[in-house]
């Protein structure tokens, strides 16, 4: 902010004094203060923003005019190293008592002009104080509707999407969603309904107040107390004749939250202070008017007054603070606090940054996983398949120190890698078969995606070729994207969500509540697609996509003004009518300094391998949704850009790290961790991978109509095969209806369990003639032990343990018992192998990548 | 402090004051829902959980031959049926619904459902929405939404049960979990899941062998997964085994465990599949009641085939008495068991039928008006809402949207429709009902 010393104070700009009294050091605490049982606290201090907390400023807190108020925090340094917020547990006092009022929660409001000392005292006697000067306490400033009245509607929820904020309003009374359009609100309140909502001659009789206080029946119930400050403010505004405010009145330029971040104990609470800085430099405390939202409610929760409470789990949480259209974030770090002494070798920059975070947060990582686990894990994650028994055996026997790196390289070079990632991207790029006539385009698009991964096409080029695609699907397969993503709206929303990890949908109709994007940004981005046109292709079901000559522009629905194409956060572009504006978009997006493309991709890929994004959800990257490891996020993105958007290199960077190669088995400390990658987080195999794995395990095949013999589920080009495969449907293979990975369902369900454990389909695979169980039973040459070992390599990609062999052998013996002849014996042994195979396939070790 | 449930009378009465205060402390809106559920689970809400039974009448029953007869209309409209008085003075219904007539004080009839589409589909009845401007993935069925927002009451009973078979006319099965994804699909013991529920060529002995083997092989530690998915999988496996042998769900599905007189009271129905839709299995009404008692939050039943393009009156003479018996039994049973405050019942089809009788003595599609029947859920019953013109062709009073009925049902479950949202695949928060649909004042 600009220097407070040079700006005239208008509202309660904090020129302030800071004093603290160190308490008597010999006081011994016995668990009296709030929840601080063991640690001593000292250096109690009062603070209300960054400067006062740093102890850097002189003077005193000034409250000017009757409307001024200030939330103050009582903060102490604990002997355990934690800064502790004691705001709600200290005893507040003001002397003399008739200058300011201080609430139990530390809110100072003026009573009369003069100076006072506000002091706080802990139960143990530690004190701190703050000088406050009140000026013009009787002065009533004219109220500005947008700055003061509208935020009350937002705080009370009047203008929420479920109430008066929805597009049609509620029972005829409409407010702009979350108060983003004060002029409209003014219009509706003051001028609509023949002015009956407000009554300046007798403000208390205004319909607005009678309804909000529940005096007259109100569908939304009682929202406001008549003796509340908010009521009084609205009342005063009505009494003043409902001024809108002057055009030159300042508006909120930004908000700041204090503290910005803090490391908290697992039993801590932290009051926040939020100030709004206006365009003229004045500052207002808006703690009570702001809205708060925690991004991880299992870690920290926040109430309407801005008090953050730690739930008890270690981790990071971000509290988003909103006031008017401005947002800010408080970050809480709740360390586990275990000393991290033993770390696996740091193999890449990924490890440096992950381990750095683990040390800070105090979570010791798990051990490295063993070779067999690693090979299975990386084969599934890169190639979407189980390793073959031969691969596993060879890998286990290999003694080369870099064998894991080599395994990664060889998987990346295999066509399985291209198959698997084409499968992933085909759904995201909505390669959906709408009609049988579209099959040609579906196959072509899928093939193009697959080839792109095969040849390791730079990612920015891959994106560019999709966004700028023209022609028909035989000439240029990625035009198929435009076949499903048909209108400008979905083109801009899909490309923002998919390639920029930015969700723009909200901004179509109103300012995005969590974001900086406005409707102007929305329509400017949409303008890049304004000239996309289509006509019939050569074959039925085909379409020809082309740039229709003309200067690209869109109409901002809000202002009804034409807008030029402009990239997010960039300046409007002048694009000649012969130039395809999509090229300009792709060039901007694919540039090395583009802030969106690489972040969106590395986060998406990180999640692919770790089952959790650095930002969650993976396609919602924004300032108010910070990464769990921002340094790592930046470094990954930077490496990816510097590599020339090399996807295989990114995968290498990830998979070669010790972090990726950590065991999934938790140690005594990191079982709850699901943010910092202190171990591998297991994930259920996707529908396609699981079906292929079952086919491999049982030596059977699933035939998909209209595909080549031997086509595996991960090789299917589009969604059309789901309809005839209950397995793929029930295990959540996506239909390609959205650009969101979340369309792929990885959840468990009863229907899945039943199908896996008891369906005719699976039973037929187990008991097929020529299937694995029948072959094992008929092979008389090999001893059971060796056969079971083979089976374990096939299904679990590891050697069996002795007790597992014993269990299985016993079952074989038990089933064969009492067989009349060899024929029956073989039949029964075959059943026994089916049972064993079934049990292996139904276990979590098989169903999960771990 | 925020009241998550609106007015106090709307409290889900299972939530204790203490857990409520805890919820209040968490702050704003829908965000705190998982905590509500945890609080609910923690306070042991079981017996009194709220639920919905929806009986969908595929094909669209004739409103003017059931609850809205037009005896003064010309003969080409009037129809063959006479009316009988009901337990609500002045309200008469079709002579073929005598048992319902006796308990009309326990029923609310809406005569003016107004926003149906001319589309043979369960979509509107199960989602309250039309298919125009659907979000990616599609609108979810009401039961999927409830399953997502409220979760299971009991781990052994899926929160959303669909008793309908897979119907031959595909759009009768149109409503699904939509953007909520396949894990929120209804569990269908008569549909997709049917063949997986009975033992497929295995003896019980072999199944128990397999299960023992699985237990000894399945050594992977569940605590490796903090997301709870492994736990979930294990518990679904438990349920699945239970289903193949015996389990709470299987028991709930087995209506034969009821008292013989109760079964008889519900009636036999007709097990044949009617038209290209569903059979008329009256025991499913009983099963639905057993399921909600066991912990289901939403149960759907598809009943019969009401697309009477020909022989309207002959068909209705056959079908109405079956519905009359089953439905009146269900409503009386809910009252007798003290479930009438907890279980909401809704009965409807996708549209009404033409006022004018066609050349085949049938009535054709008429989306401009249709009827719905509501019971239980603590609603104000014993009333008729809305009216149609003298030909039964247009609503003349209180046109009601499907979404308004859903708003009412959600409120009966304790869900605040002005606050609860569910994110769709684009991350946009979606409310439970379409814009402008509020709980019906007449009913709550």
pLDDT tens-digit map of B304-319: 999 999 999 999 999 9
Chain B interface, mutation test: which of A502, A754, A766, most B Cβ atoms within 10 Å? Answer: A754
Chain A interface, mutation test: which of B27, B159, B180, B218, most A Cβ atoms within 10 Å? Answer: B27
Residues of A in contact with B195 (CB under 8 A): 759-760
Asked if B4 has any chain A CB less than 8 Å from its own CB, the reply is: no
Work out the minimum CA distance from B421 to partner chain A, whole angstroms: 9
On whether the CB atoms of residues B355 and B69 are closer than 8 A, the answer is no
Asked if B181 has any chain A CB less than 8 Å from its own CB, the reply is: yes
Structure-token match 């004190």, residue found: A127
Please name the member of A291, A749, A835 whose beta carbon is closest to the beta carbon of B206. Answer: A835
Residue B282 belongs to some domain of the structure: yes
Strand duo A127-135 + A61-64: pairing: parallel
Structure ipTM:
0.82
> How long a stretch of residues is chain B?
444
Residues of A in contact with B224 (CB under 8 A): 664-666, 679, 682, 850
Chain-chain contact of B214 with A839 (C-beta, under 8 angstroms)? yes
Strand duo A252-258 + A273-278: pairing: antiparallel
Number of folded domains in chain B?
1
Residue B115 belongs to some domain of the structure: yes
Task: Single out the residue of B341, B343, B370 nearest to residue B354, CA to CA.
Answer: B370
Chain-chain contact of B26 with A505 (C-beta, under 8 angstroms)? no
**Would residue A744 be called left, alpha or beta, if left means φ above 0 and alpha means ψ between -120 and 50 degrees?**
beta
Nearest CA in chain A to B189: A751
| pLDDT at site B209 | 92
| pLDDT at site B26 | 33
Asked if A304 has any chain B CB less than 8 Å from its own CB, the reply is: yes
Question: CA-CA distance, B200 to B278, in Å (whole number)?
Answer: 25
Asked if B32 has any chain A CB less than 8 Å from its own CB, the reply is: yes
Chain-chain contact of A842 with B6 (C-beta, under 8 angstroms)? no
Q: Which distant-in-sequence residues (6+ apart) come within 8 Å of A211 by Cβ?
A: A218
Question: CA-CA distance, A427 to A110, in Å (whole number)?
Answer: 60
Name the band, by pLDDT with cuts 50, 70 and 90, for residue B130: very high
First-residue to last-residue Cα distance in chain B:
24
Question: CA-CA distance, B333 to B264, in Å (whole number)?
Answer: 12
On whether the CB atoms of residues A128 and A44 are closer than 8 A, the answer is yes
Nearest CA in chain A to B226: A672
| pLDDT at site A40 | 66
Residue B30 belongs to some domain of the structure: yes
Would you tell me which residues 132-171 of chain B have a C-beta closer than 8 angstroms to some C-beta of chain A? Answer: 136-138, 158
On whether the CB atoms of residues B280 and B303 are closer than 8 A, the answer is yes
Asked if A508 has any chain B CB less than 8 Å from its own CB, the reply is: no
- Domain limits at B415? 2-431
Chain-chain contact of B217 with A840 (C-beta, under 8 angstroms)? yes
Please name the member of B181, B217, B230 whose beta carbon is closest to the beta carbon of A732. Answer: B181
Question: CA-CA distance, B436 to A155, in Å (whole number)?
Answer: 22
Q: Which distant-in-sequence residues (6+ apart) come within 8 Å of B12 by Cβ?
A: B5, B40, B45, B48, B49, B50, B413, B414
Chain-chain contact of B220 with A850 (C-beta, under 8 angstroms)? yes
Q: What is the pTM of this model?
A: 0.86
Nearest CA in chain A to B204: A758
Chain A interface, mutation test: which of B37, B197, B225, most A Cβ atoms within 10 Å? Answer: B225
Asked if A220 has any chain B CB less than 8 Å from its own CB, the reply is: yes
Work out the minimum CA distance from B200 to partner chain A, whole angstroms: 6
Task: List the structure tokens of A395.
Answer: 């890998």
Task: Single out the residue of A275, A232, A247 nearest to residue A12, CA to CA.
Answer: A275
Work out the minimum CA distance from A170 to partner chain B, whole angstroms: 7
Please name the member of A745, A831, A845 whose beta carbon is closest to the beta carbon of B220. Answer: A845
Work out the minimum CA distance from A654 to partner chain B, whole angstroms: 21
Task: Single out the residue of B236, B245, B281, B242 nearest to residue B263, CA to CA.
Answer: B281
Please name the member of A682, A735, A750 whose beta carbon is closest to the beta carbon of B239. Answer: A750
* CB atoms closer than 10 angstroms to residue A710: 8
Nearest CA in chain B to A668: B223
| pLDDT at site A56 | 60
Q: Cα B338–B340–B345 angle (5° rounding)?
A: 145
Q: Residue B401: is the preceding peptide bond cis (ω within 30°)?
A: no
Q: Which distant-in-sequence residues (6+ apart) come within 8 Å of A826 by Cβ?
A: A777, A778
Work out the minimum CA distance from A762 to partner chain B, whole angstroms: 10
What's the Cα-to-Cα distance from A410 to each of A377, A451, A648, rounded to whole Å? 14, 17, 11
Tell whether the model's pLDDT for residue B100 goes beyond 50: yes
Residues of A in contact with B187 (CB under 8 A): 750-751
Asked if A843 has any chain B CB less than 8 Å from its own CB, the reply is: yes
Residue B443 belongs to some domain of the structure: no
Question: CA-CA distance, B290 to B303, in Å (whole number)?
Answer: 18
Chain-chain contact of B237 with A167 (C-beta, under 8 angstroms)? no
In sequence order, the β-bridge partners of residue A41 are: A78
Q: What is the pLDDT of residues A165-193, one digit of tens each?
A: 888 888 889 999 999 899 999 999 998 87
Q: In terms of pLDDT, which residue wins out, A194 or B10? A: A194
Q: 10-residue block means of pLDDT along chain A (850 residues)?
A: 40 36 31 43 83 69 89 89 91 93 94 94 89 89 91 92 85 90 92 86 94 91 92 93 92 94 92 95 93 92 95 91 92 93 95 96 96 98 98 98 98 98 97 92 97 98 98 93 94 97 90 86 97 91 93 93 95 96 97 96 98 94 92 97 98 98 95 93 96 97 91 96 94 93 88 92 94 94 95 97 95 90 92 96 96
Residue B93 belongs to some domain of the structure: yes
On whether the CB atoms of residues A30 and A37 are closer than 8 A, the answer is no
Residue B105 belongs to some domain of the structure: yes
For residue B141, the 8-state DSSP code is P
Tell whether the model's pLDDT for residue B357 goes beyond 60: yes
**CATH number of the CATH domain containing B24:** 3.40.720
Asked if A842 has any chain B CB less than 8 Å from its own CB, the reply is: yes
In sequence order, the β-bridge partners of residue B338 are: none
Asked if A804 has any chain B CB less than 8 Å from its own CB, the reply is: yes
| pLDDT at site A28 | 31
Work out the minimum CA distance from B438 to partner chain A, whole angstroms: 10
First-residue to last-residue Cα distance in chain A:
49
| pLDDT at site A538 | 84
On whether the CB atoms of residues A514 and A622 are closer than 8 A, the answer is yes
Helix H or strand E encompassing B433:
none
Residue B441 belongs to some domain of the structure: no
Residues of A in contact with B243 (CB under 8 A): 750, 754
For residue A275, the 8-state DSSP code is E
On whether the CB atoms of residues B192 and B84 are closer than 8 A, the answer is no
Task: Single out the residue of A83, A81, A84, A100 nearest to residue A92, CA to CA.
Answer: A100
Chain-chain contact of B6 with A166 (C-beta, under 8 angstroms)? no
| pLDDT at site B21 | 33
Q: Is A818 helix (H, G, I), strand (E, B) or coil?
A: coil
Residues of A in contact with B223 (CB under 8 A): 666, 671
Would you tell me which residues 199-218 of chain B have a C-beta closer than 8 angstroms to some C-beta of chain A? Answer: 199-202, 206, 209-210, 213-214, 216-218
Residue B34 belongs to some domain of the structure: yes
Asked if B8 has any chain A CB less than 8 Å from its own CB, the reply is: no
Q: Is B430 helix (H, G, I), strand (E, B) or coil?
A: strand
- What are residue A684's phi and psi, to 5 degrees? -70, 140
On whether the CB atoms of residues B113 and B372 are closer than 8 A, the answer is yes
Work out the minimum CA distance from A72 to partner chain B, whole angstroms: 21
Mean pLDDT of chain B: 87
């Amino acid at each position: 902010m600009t220097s407070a010393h040079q700006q005239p104070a208008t509202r309660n700009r904090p020129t302030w004094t800071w004093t603290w009294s160190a308490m008597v050091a010999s006081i011994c605490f016995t668990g009296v203060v709030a929840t601080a049982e063991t640690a001593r606290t000292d250096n109690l201090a009062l603070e209300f923003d960054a400067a006062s907390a740093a102890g850097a400023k002189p003077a005193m807190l000034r409250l000017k005019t009757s409307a001024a108020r200030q939330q103050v925090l009582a903060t102490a340094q604990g002997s355990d190293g934690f800064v502790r917020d004691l705001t709600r547990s200290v005893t507040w006092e003001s002397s003399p008592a008739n200058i300011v009022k201080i609430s139990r929660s530390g809110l100072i409001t003026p009573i009369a002009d003069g100076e006072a000392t506000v002091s706080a005292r802990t139960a143990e006697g530690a004190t701190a104080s703050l000088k406050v000067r009140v000026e013009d306490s009787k002065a009533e400033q004219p109220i500005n509707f947008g700055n003061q009245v509208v935020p009350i509607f937002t705080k009370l929820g009047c203008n929420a999407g479920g109430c008066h904020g929805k597009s049609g309003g509620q029972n005829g009374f409409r407010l702009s969603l979350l108060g983003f359009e004060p002029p409209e609100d003014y219009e509706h309140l003051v001028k609509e309904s023949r002015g009956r909502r407000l009554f300046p001659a007798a403000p208390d009789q205004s319909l607005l107040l009678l309804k909000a206080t529940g005096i007259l029946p109100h569908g939304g119930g009682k929202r406001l107390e008549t003796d509340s400050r908010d009521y009084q403010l609205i009342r005063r505004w009505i009494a003043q004749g409902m001024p809108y405010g002057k055009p030159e009145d300042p508006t909120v330029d930004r908000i700041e939250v204090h503290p910005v971040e803090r490391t908290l104990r697992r039993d801590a609470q932290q009051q926040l202070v939020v100030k709004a800085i206006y365009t003229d430099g004045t500052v207002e405390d808006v703690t009570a008017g702001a809205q708060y939202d925690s991004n991880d409610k299992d870690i920290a929760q926040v109430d309407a007054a801005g008090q953050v409470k730690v739930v008890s789990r270690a981790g990071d949480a971000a509290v988003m603070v909103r006031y008017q259209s401005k947002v800010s974030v408080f970050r809480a770090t709740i360390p586990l606090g275990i000393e991290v002494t033993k770390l696996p070798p740091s193999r890449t920059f990924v490890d440096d940054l992950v381990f750095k975070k683990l040390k800070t947060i105090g979570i010791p990582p798990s051990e490295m996983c063993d070779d067999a686990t690693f090979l299975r894990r990386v084969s599934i994650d890169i190639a979407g398949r189980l390793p073959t028994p031969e691969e596993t055996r060879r890998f286990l026997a290999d003694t080369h120190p870099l064998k894991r790196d080599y395994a990664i390289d060889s998987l990346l070079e295999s066509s399985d890698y291209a198959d698997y990632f084409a499968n992933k991207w085909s759904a995201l790029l909505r390669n959906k078969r709408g009609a049988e006539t579209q099959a040609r385009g579906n196959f072509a698009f899928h093939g193009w995606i697959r080839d792109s991964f095969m040849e390791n096409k730079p990612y920015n080029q891959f994106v560019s070729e999709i966004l700028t695609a023209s022609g028909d699907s035989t000439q240029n397969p990625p035009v198929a994207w435009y076949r499903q993503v048909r209108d400008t709206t979905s083109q801009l929303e899909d490309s923002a969500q998919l390639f920029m990890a930015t969700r723009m949908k909200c901004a179509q109709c109103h300012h995005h509540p969590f974001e900086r994007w406005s409707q102007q940004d929305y329509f400017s981005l949409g303008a890049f697609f304004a000239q996309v046109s289509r006509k019939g292709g050569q074959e039925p079901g085909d379409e020809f996509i082309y740039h229709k000559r003309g200067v690209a522009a869109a109409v901002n629905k809000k202002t009804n003004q034409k807008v030029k194409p402009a990239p997010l956060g960039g300046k409007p572009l002048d694009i000649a009518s012969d130039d395809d504006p999509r090229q300009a978009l792709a060039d901007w997006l694919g540039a090395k300094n583009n802030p969106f493309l690489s972040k969106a991709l590395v986060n998406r890929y990180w999640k692919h391998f770790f089952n959790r994004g650095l930002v969650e959800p993976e396609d919602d990257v924004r300032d108010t949704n910070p990464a769990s490891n921002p340094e790592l996020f930046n470094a990954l993105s930077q490496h990816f850009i510097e590599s020339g958007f090399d996807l295989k290199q990114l995968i290498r960077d990830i998979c070669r790290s010790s972090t990726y190669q950590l065991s999934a088995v938790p140690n005594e400390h990191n079982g709850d961790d699901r943010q910092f990658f202190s171990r591998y987080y297991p994930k259920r195999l996707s529908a396609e991978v699981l079906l292929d794995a079952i086919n491999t395990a049982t030596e059977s095949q699933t035939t998909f109509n209209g595909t080549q013999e031997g086509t595996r589920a991960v090789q299917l080009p589009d969604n059309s095969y789901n309809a005839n495969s209950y397995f793929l449907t029930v295990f959540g293979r996506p239909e390609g209806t959205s650009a969101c990975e979340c369309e792929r369902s990885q959840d468990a369900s009863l229907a899945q369990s039943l199908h896996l454990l008891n369906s005719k389909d699976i039973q037929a695979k187990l008991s097929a003639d020529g299937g694995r169980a029948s072959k094992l039973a008929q092979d008389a040459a090999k001893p059971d032990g060796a056969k079971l070992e083979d089976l374990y390599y096939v299904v679990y990609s590891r050697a069996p343990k002795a007790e597992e062999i014993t269990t299985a052998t016993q079952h074989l013996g038990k089933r064969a018992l009492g067989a009349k002849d060899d024929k029956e014996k073989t039949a029964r042994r075959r059943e026994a192998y089916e049972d064993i195979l079934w049990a292996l396939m139904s276990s979590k070790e098989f169903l999960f990548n771990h | 402090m925020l009241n998550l449930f609106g007015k106090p009378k709307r409290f889900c009465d299972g939530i204790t004051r203490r857990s409520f205060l805890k919820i209040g402390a968490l702050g704003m809106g829908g965000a705190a829902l998982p905590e509500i559920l945890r609080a609910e689970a923690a306070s042991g809400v079981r017996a009194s959980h709220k639920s919905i039974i929806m009986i969908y009448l595929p094909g669209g029953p004739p409103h003017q031959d059931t609850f809205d007869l037009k005896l003064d209309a010309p003969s080409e409209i009037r129809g063959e049926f006479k009316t009988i008085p009901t337990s609500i003075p002045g309200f008469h219904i079709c002579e073929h619904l005598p048992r319902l007539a006796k308990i009309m004080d326990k029923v609310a009839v809406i005569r003016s459902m107004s926003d149906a589409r001319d589309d043979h589909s369960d979509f509107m009845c199960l989602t309250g929405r039309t298919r125009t401007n659907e979000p990616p993935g599609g609108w979810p069925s009401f039961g999927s939404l409830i399953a997502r927002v409220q979760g299971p009451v009991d781990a052994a009973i899926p929160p959303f049960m669909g008793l309908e078979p897979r119907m031959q006319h595909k759009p009768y099965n149109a409503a699904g979990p939509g953007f909520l994804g396949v894990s929120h699909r209804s569990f269908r013991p008569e549909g997709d899941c049917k063949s997986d529920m009975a033992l497929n060529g295995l003896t019980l002995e072999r199944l128990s062998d397999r299960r023992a083997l699985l237990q000894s092989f399945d050594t992977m530690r569940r605590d490796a997964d903090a997301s709870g998915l492994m736990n979930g999988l294990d518990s679904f496996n438990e349920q699945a085994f239970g289903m193949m042998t015996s389990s709470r769900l299987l028991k709930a599905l087995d209506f034969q465990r009821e008292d013989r007189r109760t079964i008889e009271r519900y009636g036999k129905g007709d097990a044949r599949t009617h038209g290209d839709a569903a059979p008329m299995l009256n025991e499913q009404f009983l099963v639905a009641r057993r399921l909600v008692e066991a912990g289901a939050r939403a149960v759907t039943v598809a009943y019969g085939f009401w697309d009477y393009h020909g022989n309207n009156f002959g068909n209705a003479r056959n079908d109405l008495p079956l519905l009359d018996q089953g439905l009146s039994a269900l409503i009386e049973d809910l009252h007798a068991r003290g479930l009438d405050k907890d279980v909401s019942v809704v009965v409807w089809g996708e549209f009404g039928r033409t006022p004018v009788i066609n050349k085949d003595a049938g009535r054709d599609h008429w989306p401009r008006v249709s009827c719905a029947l509501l019971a239980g859920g603590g609603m104000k019953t014993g009333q008729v809402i809305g009216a149609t013109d003298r030909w039964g062709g247009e609503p003349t009073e209180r046109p009601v949207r499907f979404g308004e009925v859903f708003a009412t049902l959600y409120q009966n479950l304790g869900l605040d429709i002005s606050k609860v949202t569910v994110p769709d695949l684009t991350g946009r928060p979606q409310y439970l009902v379409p814009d402008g649909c509020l709980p019906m004042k007449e009913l709550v």
